[in-house]
Structure 1
Amino acid sequence: MPDPGHFDADPSGYEAGRPPYPDALWARLRALGVLRPGLRALDLGAGTGQATGPLLTAGLSVTAVEPGRRLARRLAERFPAVDLRVARTEDVELSPSGYDIAVAATSIHWMDLDVVLPRVREALAADGRFLVWRTEFGDPTASLTPFRERVGEIVGRRAPVVDVRRRGGTAELAQALTAGGLFAVEEIDVTRWSLDLDEAQVRALFATFSDWNEAEVAAAGDAVRDLGGTVREHYVTPLIVLRGT
């Protein structure tokens, strides 16, 4: 079963391999008014700062929560201005009504919602928002590319595994986030974007996937080489904006 400790084993590889979130996502957040200078942000499962950095750049003060000690050390090196808490979201001490926004960027699937949602609701100001997004590596609405065919073949050779972390698609995740009555969905926005990757970049990115082993990562890199050295990947970043009820 995948484990979040997978990421803490190689923070430099994680930082190098993961692409930044698309500009269109940050533009949407600016339009929502949640990237205003002076706002207080809570970044949950912050990793090496893929969301922390843009939040700081936008002028927000950021408290970053990251349980992985190596990841947290790298985050602090990159962004010394951050208020860093090395802890799980389920355990961290947070000030009541101390934040204007909370962010879970490609991290919510690792969290126990029964514990986390009440804690986030208490930590947010009365008019605060909880922003949940993730990068889905592969866009099911895009035309199937030769590289995605090869990825499908690699995954198809695996033995079936039930992943208890999965909460289905965006609609199912929104339902799970609102089931307890603490939050209501304000809006759901979907950003579709593309990225050209070479063999080294694919190897670096796929090595960060907790459910991919070394042989599978190597096979994905080989596929890029076989297909000419560069592939275009189509990704999706769904954003769920929640307000407290």
Structure 2
Amino acid sequence: MSDATSRAAGRAEGPADDGDAFPMLPLKAGRRAFGHDPEGYAAARPSYPSALWDAVDAACSLRDASVFEVGPGTGAATLPLLRRSPRRLVAIEPDARLAAYLERRAASPGDRLQIRREPFEEAALGAGEFDLGVAATSFHWLDQRPALRQARRALRPGGLWAMWWTVFTDPDLADPFTEACAPIFCALPSSRTLRTGRAPFALDEPARLADLRAAGFGACTAQRFRWRTAMDADATVALTATFSQVSQAMSAAREAALSAIGALVRDRFGGRLERHFVSVLYLARNGDE
């Protein structure tokens, strides 16, 4: 697949952080989609499953490692990375509001955390400078193959690239709630129709692995982690409010959608849901290791 075809496919598929169950926004929207309420975003988004972190730890020792992170946002991956004692962590965040929030949340990390307020495409990372590169529910906002080539150049030979997402539905299981929500999301002016018949961006493993290999990575793997959590109406509304097509809607449309979601949970699902989510982790090496 050519880079031009890859770019077109990325735009058609849209971002994956909303679970890819609903229509998505263009790539550039991600630069400013989440910074208006960092506290709400951080509180509403669930943590990544421990099994995913175990897989990252098994692939690369972070102690004393040099790490860069693409799109750290509110720090859902940044803080766990720091707890693993890297020598340094360079976090590249294009939204100044999110970068400021992350700086406050990191709580005196010393010299280990450096936050760069710039798009990843503009980040001047030294060639072969890092042991590990990470993107947690962020890399879908970038033009895949050029951005992956940039990430690979920043890694030492044999260095590890890890990117992952959580999809807020499990496409392999029946999900009456997701189906019931679809008309609400499709009615949002900020949404645009997602082509049917395609795997969600994050779960399209052949496409993601092909992009990694085309960028020069080797030893490319994908692993899924299925997990579930109970959510009441308030938690469901809070999570929904962090989805890009909701956060970017005009106030009246956004509030109407959130109100409809809350009513749906209370009236049709008895006020409590057991949600089934999927986190998918892609690992690759700079080279053939």
TM-score (norm 1): 0.90
Match of 2:100 among 73, 82, 85: 73
1:210 to 231, 244, 247: 244
Deviation of the 1:109 alpha carbon:
0.9
Structure 2 residue aligned with 1:229, among 271, 282, 289? 271
Q: TM-score, normalised by structure 2?
A: 0.77
Residue 67 (structure 2) aligns with: 41
Q: Is 1:187 the equivalent of 2:221?
A: yes
Query: Aligned Cα RMSD in Å?
Result: 2.2
Letter in 2 for 1:69: A
Match of 2:205 in 1: 170
Residue from 78, 97, 101 that aligns with 2:132: 101
Contact 1:35 1:55 survives alignment (8 Å)? no
Equivalent residue of 2:104, what SS? helix
SS in 2 for 1:142: coil
Contact 2:56 2:162 in 1 (8 A): no
User: Post-superposition shift, 1:185?
Assistant: 4.1
Amino acid at match of 1:118: R
1:52 and 2:87 equivalent? Answer: no
| 2:188–2:245 CA contact under 8 A, matched in 1 | no
Contact 1:185/1:240 (<8 A) preserved: no
**Pair 1:244–1:162, CA change in 2 (3 A):** farther
Q: Tell me by how many angstroms 1:58 deviates.
A: 1.4
Q: Which has the higher contact order (CA 8 A, sep 6+)?
A: 2
1:148 alignment partner AA: T
C-alpha change, 1:86 and 1:156, in structure 2 (3 Å) is closer
1:18 is aligned, of 45, 56, 71, to: 45
C-alpha contact (below 8 Å) 1:196/1:231 kept by paired residues: yes
In 2, distance between residues paired with 1:18 and 1:88?
Answer: 23
Change (3 A) 1:151 1:185: farther
Q: Kindly indicate whether residue 281 of structure 2 is the aligned counterpart of residue 239 of structure 1.
A: yes
SS in 1 for 2:279: strand
2:168 is the alignment partner of 1:133: no
Gaps of 5+ in 2: 1-24
1:220 pairs with 2:247: no
Question: How many residues end up aligned between the 2 structures?
Answer: 241
State the identity %: 34
- 2:17 match: none
Distance in 1, Cα, partners of 2:49 & 2:143: 27
